[in-house]
């Protein structure tokens, strides 16, 4: 199977500036001469991703804490929770469709317009969820309307992540791409921080108020956040590598066909590489929150506070991981990171099993915020490096979102069933640990693929996956 990247010149030559390519917008060359602008682009990409993750995170929390009561019959609590997590899964199942559709346009017409469109779709769907009537008002139609809105969320999300990463990655020079690509990866932590923060405030209301109108507030806030996100994204310039491709007429005509024909191996490796990370994240942020409340009888504010503290710690940890991959090489990070994640998994699950608020916070911060996150920020640059610029949006998005279907989308259902059958949350931890081992093997294979692709592009270039001196 051929996964070699054909020479495109995009990593070897300055971007060809065209008077017609941009109007009223500067384009920074790929040597990273304008560091300030690269930082601004990375920050803008992170802000947009944070808003989309805010929308996605509030749905996950609502699915764990509120939707089983509001949108599904209460004759069987287990079935109601399972159905609620089922709608959560739908959002993950639709992500690959978003990756293909928006990846196509991202590789054909540009990264920037796609990022604007996905932000609008996500915001509209989330706001509409906040306006929905409940099961007590319209019966099964409540869930019937909820499902397509969740589907739209997933489609938008499927096209968001890859574009945000590429805007930062393609603006930065090779020696700093690990770090700058990690900045949009901070978006999930920031978005989750916002989502959990809003839900934490909501839980201070009386339960009747939460179930009658309080649960709608996080979703309605999305409308305001989308407006702010659009202001940020409309001001950024198009990716310089795409501008070069478009100017020379070397964009792929049908990106998904090119990916399946010549880049299927890295797609599968990206899918496997993120498998354990997606599984851990969704279990920690949704399943364990619900488990702590419904099974252990803990107040939701305890786990929400723990997640808030974790997100704060994750922000510098992710960027440190990206920097470390530039400084010490990706192979080392991709070896140590998943093993640290396995240790973090069992630390977190042990902390949850104690039912002690203090230990739960420590378990989240240490297990998820530090150990699990250590290699998380280094992954985006590795994923992007594995594809030619002409199919990069489609290729990395498809692999990443397929992984989210298996690792993230199915895991709440799997965890719920495992807990019901075994009676122990450690069976869930064992499955996550196994998934992280698979991720480590795939990530190391992907490092080799990226090294081979770099050598194929120019044998005289030093691979960006190898250690470099500090910039």
Q: Please state the domain extents for the chain.
A: 35-457
Distance CA 59, CA 91 (A): 10
Q: What Rg do the C-alpha atoms of the chain give, in angstroms?
A: 21
pLDDT value, residue 63: 81
- Sequence-distant (≥ 6) Cβ neighbours of residue 390 within 8 angstroms: 8, 107, 245, 250, 251, 252, 255, 258
Interval 357-401: pLDDT, tens: 999 999 999 999 999 999 999 999 999 999 988 999 999 999 999
Distance CA 443, CA 250 (A): 29
pTM for this prediction: 0.81
CATH of domain 35-457: 1.20.1250.20
Helix (H) or strand (E) holding 100: helix 95-108
Distance CA 344, CA 419 (A): 20
254 DSSP 8-state letter: S
Six token digits for residue 49: 């991703």
Distance CA 363, CA 344 (A): 8
Give 242's pLDDT tier (boundaries 50, 70, 90).
Answer: confident
Give 247's pLDDT tier (boundaries 50, 70, 90).
Answer: confident
pLDDT value, residue 20: 36
pLDDT value, residue 162: 92
Instruction: Using alpha carbons, select from 103, 112, 52 the residue that is nearest to residue 235.
Output: 112
């Amino acid at each position: 199977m051929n996964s070699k990247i054909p020479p495109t010149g995009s990593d070897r030559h300055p971007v060809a500036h065209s008077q017609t390519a941009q109007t009223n917008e500067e384009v920074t060359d790929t040597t990273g001469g304008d560091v300030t602008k690269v930082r601004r682009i990375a920050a803008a990409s992170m802000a947009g991703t944070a808003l989309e993750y805010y929308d996605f995170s509030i749905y996950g929390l609502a699915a764990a804490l509120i939707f089983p009561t509001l949108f599904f019959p209460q004759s069987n609590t287990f079935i109601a929770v399972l159905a609620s997590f089922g709608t959560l899964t739908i959002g993950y199942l639709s992500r690959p469709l978003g990756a293909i559709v928006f990846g196509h346009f991202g590789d054909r017409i540009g990264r920037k317009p796609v990022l604007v469109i996905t932000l609008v779709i996500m915001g509209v769907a989330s706001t509409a969820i906040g306006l929905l009537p409940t099961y007590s008002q319209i019966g099964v139609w409540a869930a019937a309307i909820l499902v397509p809105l969740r589907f739209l969320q997933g489609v938008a999300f499927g096209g968001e992540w890859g574009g945000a990463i590429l805007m930062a990655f393609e603006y930065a020079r090779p020696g700093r791409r690990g770090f700058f690509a990690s900045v949009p990866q901070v978006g999930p932590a920031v978005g989750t921080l916002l989502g959990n923060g809003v839900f934490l405030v909501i839980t201070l209301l009386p339960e009747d108020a939460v179930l009658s109108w309080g649960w709608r507030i996080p979703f309605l806030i999305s409308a305001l956040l989308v407006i702010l996100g659009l202001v940020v994204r409309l001001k950024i310039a198009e990716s310089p590598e795409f501008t070069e491709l478009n100017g020379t007429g070397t964009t792929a005509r049908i990106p998904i066909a090119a990916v399946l024909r010549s880049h299927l191996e890295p797609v599968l490796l990206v899918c496997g590489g993120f498998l354990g990370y997606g599984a851990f994240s969704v279990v920690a942020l949704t399943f364990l929150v619900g488990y702590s409340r419904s099974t252990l009888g803990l107040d939701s504010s305890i786990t929400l506070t723990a997640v808030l503290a974790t997100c704060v710690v994750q922000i510098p940890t992710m960027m440190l991981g990206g920097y470390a991959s530039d400084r010490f090489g990706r192979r080392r990070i991709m070896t140590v990171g998943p093993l640290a994640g396995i240790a973090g998994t069992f630390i977190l699950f042990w902390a949850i099993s104690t039912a002690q608020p203090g230990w739960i916070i420590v378990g989240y911060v240490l297990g998820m915020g530090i150990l699990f996150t250590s290699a998380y920020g280094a992954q985006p640059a590795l994923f992007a490096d594995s594809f030619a610029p002409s199919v990069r949006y489609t290729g990395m998005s498809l692999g990443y979102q397929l992984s989210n279907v298996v690792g993230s989308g199915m895991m709440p259902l799997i965890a719920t069933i495992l807990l019901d059958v075994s009676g122990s949350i450690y069976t869930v931890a064992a499955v996550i640990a196994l998934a992280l081992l698979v991720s480590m093997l795939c990530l190391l294979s992907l490092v080799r693929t990226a090294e081979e692709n770099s050598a194929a592009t120019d044998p005289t270039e030093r691979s960006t996956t190898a250690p470099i001196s500090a910039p």
